[in-house]
Amino acid sequence: MITIIGAGKVGSAAAFDILRYKISDVVLIDLNENQAKGEALDMMQAAPAIEFDGNIRGTSDFKEMRGSELVIIIAGLGRRPDMTRIDLMNTNAQIVKSVVKEVVKYAPDCKLMMVTNPVDIMTYIAFKESGFPRSRLFGMGNILDTMRFRTYIANELNVSREDTRALVIGEHGDSMVPLVEYASVSGIPITNLLTKEQIEKIVCLTVTSGSDVIQLKGSTVYAPAVVIAITADAILTGRNRVMSVSTCLDGEYGFSNVSIGVPVVLGKYGVEKIIELELSDQTRERFGKSVAIIKEAIAALKS
């Protein structure tokens, strides 16, 4: 069973994607009980069309998460067009702390996925508040950034998005680091297919992509929702997917006491392995700056 805490646009869309892909039963929790129940009822009425025979229920009662294999926290304020993810930090930190206490109380053995922004900082807070081993707690951010990176590579080359492969590490925010040296199309490095100018344009579009959507329509919904679903699938089915998630480093890449996006093997037990890549000097410098931004924000939060 999967519990999603936060029945807003992203939480509800993610719940429906989980049903549509037949990954798991879902409990949708929100302080607005009618919203949670209404979303669940709406999805259940769609279940015959998507051939889903499981259960989706909405509630405001945290006890309903008992027995969940995966809990996904999306609750919190969304980013407005004039805000950065860091701007959300102080308000959402208090929300996350209170929700994590409920998770520890009712689902102490779950894997915990953070989605609330700024996700790297919220992942760090959840790690400290929960006492969970770092393998059972991670943040969804760079997987979404990677999907955007792949999209822009495919668009630039006019090839199938399915054939593009890429990774993004670092903050889920303006200091993210799209790994150009590891991006390819059917195994062909993009550096062999695109000019330096084209690659710089793609990297810029990737970094601003979330803000671009928010400026146009107020919030991102479909892309984060489907990423949540495929991440949940990796956990529930134990597929050992290689994905870039926000995880708490303990010496990897030369950093500790920070949660930030790096590639991992994601499976039945959560973060089963952190993959340490060889990075170019320039990329390592950019990643270090991204770590510094997150650490500075964490320090400000503590004060």
Domain hosting 235: range is: 142-302
- 157/291 same-domain check: yes
- 223/147 same-domain check: yes
CB 2 within 8 A of CB 9: no
- 128/173 same-domain check: no
- 296/147 same-domain check: yes
Q: What is the CATH classification number for the domain harbouring 34?
A: 3.40.50.720
Among 84, 116, 139, residue at a domain's last position: 139
- 296/160 same-domain check: yes
**Would you place residue 168 in the very low, low, confident or very high pLDDT band (cuts 50, 70, 90)?**
very high
pLDDT by residue (tens digit) across 74-129? Answer: 998 876 666 665 677 888 999 999 999 999 999 999 999 999 999 999 999 999 99
Among 139, 167, 184, residue at a domain's last position: 139
The confidence score (pLDDT) of residue 149 equals: 96
- The mean per-residue pLDDT over the stretch 218-229 comes to 92
**Would you place residue 214 in the very low, low, confident or very high pLDDT band (cuts 50, 70, 90)?**
confident
**Would you place residue 262 in the very low, low, confident or very high pLDDT band (cuts 50, 70, 90)?**
very high
- 157/174 same-domain check: yes
Mean pLDDT of all residues belonging to the chain: 93
- 297/155 same-domain check: yes
Cβ neighbours, 10 Å, residue 299 = 9
Among 106, 139, 172, residue at a domain's last position: 139
φ/ψ bin of 131: left (φ > 0), alpha (ψ from -120 to 50), beta (otherwise) = left
CB 68 within 8 A of CB 18: no
Is 70 exceeded by the pLDDT of residue 137? Answer: yes
Q: What is the CATH classification number for the domain harbouring 236?
A: 3.90.110.10
Distance CA 143, CA 140 (A): 6
- 126/197 same-domain check: no
- 114/164 same-domain check: no
Domain count, the chain: 2
Q: In sequence order, which residues have a C-beta less than 8 Å from that of residue 89 and are 6 or more positions away?
A: 118, 121, 297, 300, 301
- 295/146 same-domain check: yes
Q: Is the peptide bond before 48 cis (omega within 30 degrees of 0)?
A: no
- 56/174 same-domain check: no
The confidence score (pLDDT) of residue 163 equals: 95
Annotated catalytic residue, options 7, 172, 175, 227:
172
The confidence score (pLDDT) of residue 23 equals: 95
Is 70 exceeded by the pLDDT of residue 244? Answer: yes
The confidence score (pLDDT) of residue 25 equals: 95
Lowest mean pLDDT among 34-38, 110-114, 278-282: 278-282
Known catalytic residue at 172? yes
CB 199 within 8 A of CB 205: no
The confidence score (pLDDT) of residue 219 equals: 85
The confidence score (pLDDT) of residue 84 equals: 64
Is 60 exceeded by the pLDDT of residue 292? Answer: yes
* Percent of the chain topping pLDDT 70: 96
- 243/106 same-domain check: no
Is 80 exceeded by the pLDDT of residue 37? Answer: yes
Place of tokens 């129940």: 37
